[in-house]
A and B are shown apart, each in its own frame.
Chain A
Amino acid sequence: GEDVEQSLFLSVREGDSSVINCTYTDSSSTYLYWYKQEPGAGLQLLTYIFSNMDMKQDQRLTVLLNKKDKHLSLRIADTQTGDSAIYFCAGGGGYQKVTFGTGTKLQVIP
């Protein structure tokens, strides 16, 4: 089965860029997702990338996929205090089950 690993914690200053990293084991995932979860809330889909893509940009978000190293990253430009949350990467999609990492807590310092 899929294993997805993330670092647990990241602290950045407001206005800087944040880069959250993720590694996964199963290269058969159709999609790779990034979700945001604020305290006490459900999961918000931020963006996703199809497995045959290398990069996707969506406003302040840039997703990079290195299929050779099975490495996924999410870059948030001009990080704001409202970006403070837990970020999950996940793989799967279509009619595959989606496997989530343990989450990276992003702390934005004003």
Chain B
Amino acid sequence: ETGVTQSPTHLIKTRGQQVTLRCSSQSGHNTVSWYQQALGQGPQFIFQYYREEENGRGNFPPRFSGLQFPNYSSELNVNALELDDSALYLCATQDVSYEQYFGPGTRLTVT
């Protein structure tokens, strides 16, 4: 039990739609990272937020955006969904110890 929760658990969207995924973490976890894990692959870094500011970004287009809130929750927004966006989306939070704690993920299917 990591104390990191994600919602929803599963989601089905149609190509071209927009989606918002949510993550909540423990108090004191100021850093949140989002990852995309395609089937059979390792997680790929999307971006990281620290104290509500984007702190680093992987090789993902601008239609992937995020927000972090003062209550240690965060969102991942994806616009103009494509079939290749189908994946497990993981958020990971960390405290000052640099240990990353992952949530259970949201499985997104784009049809």
Contacts and interface: CB of A to CB of B under 8 A. Distances in A.
A45 B100 CA distance: 7
Contact of A97 (B48, B50, B99): B48
Interface stretch (B14-22, B79-87, B101-109): B101-109
Given A45-B100, A95-B48, A88 B42 contact: yes
Given A41-B104, A42-B105, A93 B43 contact: no
A33 interface: yes
Contacts of A88: 42-43
Interface residues of A, number: 24
B13 to A, nearest CB: 20
Contacts of B105: 41-42
Contact of A42 (B31, B45, B56, B90): B90
B42 A103 contact: yes
A42 B98 contact: no
Given A43-B43, A43-B90, A97 B101 contact: no
Given A98-B33, A98-B45, A44 B102 contact: yes
Contacts of A82: none
Nearest to B105: A42
A103 B92 CA distance: 18
A45 B58 contact: no
Contact of B42 (A30, A48, A102): A102
Given A42-B102, A42-B103, A95-B48, A100 B55 contact: no
Interface of A: 4, 30-31, 33, 35, 41-45, 48, 88, 90, 93-103
